[in-house]
Chain A
Amino acid sequence: MARIATCWTMLVLLLAAELVAARAGLGAVVCVLAVLMVLVIVLGFMQILRAPPLAIIFALGGLFWLAILLALGSLDSFTRTTVPVHDTAPYAPAVR
C-alpha cells in the first residue's frame, strides 16, 4: 500500500514538474521527466525487479531494439540533402 501511494505521489509530482518545465520552455527537462515517470511505473507498478530475470532481459531487449529503430530510422531524415523545389504549392513534398 505504502509503495503504491509513494509511486502515485511521485508520478503526480513529476507531472506537475513537467507542466512547469513545459511552461518554461525547457523541452529537454520535459523529456527527462517523462522518462522518470516511465521508470516509476516500470519499477513501482510493474515491479520488474521482482519479476523473473527473463522479464528483465526481454524488457531490455525491447528497449535496445526500440533505440535502433529510432536512431537508424531517423538517420536519413536528419542527414538528407534537400534540393529546394520551385513549385510553391501549399503541399510541397517534405522539404526542410
Chain B
Amino acid sequence: MSGTPSPAVQQRSYLWQDGTLRSWLLTRDHKRIGLLYLGSITAFFVLGSIGAALVRLQLLEPTGAILSDATYNRMFTMHGVVMVWLFLVPSIPVTLGNFLVPLMLGARDLAFPRLNLLSWYLFVASGLLVVYGLFRGGLETGWTFYTPLSSEYTQGRVLPVVLGVFLNGFSSIATGVNFIVSIHQLRAPGMTWYRLPLMLWALYATSVIFVLATPVLAITLLLLAFEHLFRVGVFDPTLGGDPLLFQQLFWFYSHPAVYIMILPGMGVVSEIVSTFSHKPVFGYRFVAWSSVSIAAIGFIVWGHHMFVAGTSLYSAIVFSMFSFFVSVPSAIKVFNWLGTMHGGSIRLDAPMLYAMGFIGLFTVGGLTGLFLASLASDVHLTQTYFVVAHFHYIMVGGMVSAYFGGLHYWWPKITGRMYPEIWGRVAAALIFFGFNLTFFPQFILGYEGMPRRYATYPAQFQVLNVLSSAGAGILAVAYLLPLIYFTWSLFRGAQAPDNPWGATGLEWQTASPPPVENFAETPVVTTDAYDYAARDGRADAARVDEGAPHA
C-alpha cells in the first residue's frame, strides 16, 4: 500500500476499465451505478435549490418581491417535491450506499446487480416525469399532496407528478431489497453482525423503511390518481370520501421517510467521528440498535402530523407519546458520538467539520421536534415557520451536511484523488454559518406566528425574513464551492493513497479507486469494526516490510 497508485492499479480501476458510454449505461458495477446516481441527484439538487432561491427572494418583501401568488405556490411545491424524492431520500443510500455497501462487506457486488441498474433507470424516468409535471402545468399542493386540494383543485396537473413519485418508490424499494439481502448474505468471512461498520446498520434500517413504507405511499398515490381520473370517491368529501384517510396513509409513509432522510446521515457521521477521533465508536451496540429502533418506532408516530386535523384525542395522545419515545434512540446516538470524541485525538479535517455540524444541528432539530410532538405547543406551532425550521435543521443541517461530509470523506476512495483540504474546510464552515443564518430566524418567525406556505406576510416579520434570505444566499455560494473544487480535483487533485485518513473498514484496504472486482482476494475479517490498535499495527508492519523509515 504505497502513496502513489501504480499504472497497473489505475488500469484495473473501475473508473477506467472500459470508458465507453455504453459500458457506463449498461454497467452492473455497484460503484459505477453509485456514480450515475451521483450525477443525477446533483442535477436535481441544483433544480430544487433554484426553487428555494426563488422562494427566499420572494420573501424579501412583505408583499412579495418577484412572484405571483400562484407561481410562489408552484415554486415551494417544486422545491419540496424535488428535494424530498429526487434528492434527499435517495441521496446517501444510492450514492455512497451503493458504492460502499459491498466494499464494507468485503463483497464483489450487491446481491442483485441488475436490479440495481434497473433502480437507476426507474429513478431517472421518475425524475423526468416529476419535472415534466411540475413545469408543464405547475402544482401548488406542497410536497404533501393533501386532498381535496390535489384532486379537486389541480385539475389533473397532479397526475404526472404523482405517477413520477409512484415510480420513484419502486426505485427505492429495489435499492432497499438489494441492501437488505446483501447485508444478510454477502458478509465476508469473519464479518459478524457486530463487526459491521455502523454505516451498514444505518443503511439496513433505512432499507427496512424503503421496503415496508414506500409501498404504502405508492398505493396512496395510486388511489389519488384513480379518484381523480375516474371521479370515484376515496378521499374526496364531495364524492363521499374521507380526506383524513389520505393524510393517514400519506404519513404512514412520510414520517418513516423522514427517517430515511436522517438514518444514513447518522451512519456516515458514526464513521467520520470514529476515524477523526481515532477511537472506536463509544457504545457500538447501542448505536447499532438505536438505528434499528429508530426505524421501528418511526413507523408508529405518524399521527403527530395530524394533531389539528380533527383526529380523535385518543389517537393524538397515542401518537404524541410514541413521538417522545422515538427521540430516545436519537439522543443515544448523539451522546455516543460525543463519548467517542471525548478523549480522542481529534483532527479537524473537512469531513469532521461536517460531522460536528451535523451533531449540533441535528440536536436542535430533534429537540424542537419534541415541542411539536407535545399536543399543547403543537396547536400553536403547527403550520408555522417553526415547523419549517425544525425539519430543515434535521434534513439540511443534518442530512445534507452528512452527505457532504461523506462525499469528502470517501472522495479519495471513489475518485482516487484528494480534494483541496483548505477549500473543504472553508465550505464546511460557510455552510454551517449560512445554514444557521437562514433557518434560526425561522424558529422565531414561527414562534411569533408567521404561517408557512404564504406568498406574503405582515410587515413586522420583515427583518427576520431578510436575515433568512441573506443566509440562503450564503448557503447557495457555500454549496457551489464543493461542486467547483470536486470537479477541479478530478483532474488536478493529488493522487489519493489507499487509506488517507488512517481509517479502519474494509473499503480502505483496497486500492483507491478500487478495482472492478473490489478486492484482489476476498478479505477475511478478524477484528471489530473500529479496532485502531490492530490497524495501526498492520500499517507499521507494512512500513517495516517496505523498509521505509519508521515514524
Contact = CB atoms under 8 A, between A and B. Distances in A.
Q: Answer whether A and B are interacting partners.
A: yes
A91 B239 contact: yes
B331 to A, nearest CB: 23
Contacts of A79: 312-315
A61 B181 CA distance: 14
- Among A65, A75, A81, A94, the most chain B Cβ lie within 10 Å of the Cβ of A65
A72 B212 contact: no
B249 interface: yes
A70 B212 CA distance: 13
A43 B302 CA distance: 34
B517 interface: no
Contacts of A94: 237, 240-242
A80 B249 contact: no
A61 to B, nearest CB: 7
B244 interface: yes
A93 B237 CA distance: 5
A54 B184 contact: yes
B71 to A, nearest CB: 31
Contact of A69 (B208, B252, B306, B312): B252
A68 B303 CA distance: 13
Given A61-B212, A62-B212, A91-B240, A68 B299 contact: yes
Nearest to A65: B212
A65 B252 CA distance: 11
B345 interface: no
A68 B251 CA distance: 13
Contacts of B306: 76
A81 B312 CA distance: 6
Interface string B223-267: 000000000000001111111110011001000000000000000
Nearest to A90: B240
A6 interface: no
Interface string A57-81: 0000110010011001101110111
Contacts of B245: 77
B342 to A, nearest CB: 37
Nearest to A72: B300
A76 B237 contact: no
Contacts of A80: 310-312, 315
A62 to B, nearest CB: 7
Chain B CB within 10 Å — which of A76, A79, A91 has the most? A76
Contacts, number: 57
B312 A91 contact: no
Interface in A27-54: 54
Given A91-B240, A93-B237, A94-B242, A76 B216 contact: no
B477 interface: no
Contacts of B318: 72, 75
Contacts of B239: 91
A80 B242 CA distance: 12
Contacts of A91: 237-240
A63 to B, nearest CB: 11
A73 B252 contact: yes
Q: Which of A72, A79, A91 counts the most B-chain CB atoms under 10 A from its CB?
A: A72
B216 A69 contact: yes
A76 B299 contact: no
Contacts of B237: 91, 93-94
A53 B312 CA distance: 41
Contacts of A61: 208, 212
A93 B244 CA distance: 11
A94 to B, nearest CB: 4
A76 B303 contact: yes
B326 to A, nearest CB: 14
Interface string B332-345: 00000000000000
A62 B177 CA distance: 13
A25 B221 CA distance: 35
A73 B249 contact: yes
Given A69-B252, A93-B237, A77 B216 contact: no
A75 B314 contact: yes
A91 B212 CA distance: 34
B184 A76 contact: no
Contacts of B252: 69, 73
Contacts of A54: 181, 184-185
A76 B244 CA distance: 9
11 contacts: A54-B181, A54-B184, A69-B252, A73-B249, A76-B244, A76-B248, A76-B315, A93-B237, A93-B242, A94-B237, A94-B242
Given A68-B300, A72-B318, A94-B241, 6 more contacts: A76-B312, A77-B242, A77-B244, A77-B245, A81-B312, A91-B240
Which 9 A-B pairs give the minimum distances between C-beta atoms? A94-B242, A76-B315, A79-B312, A93-B237, A76-B311, A79-B314, A80-B312, A65-B212, A75-B315
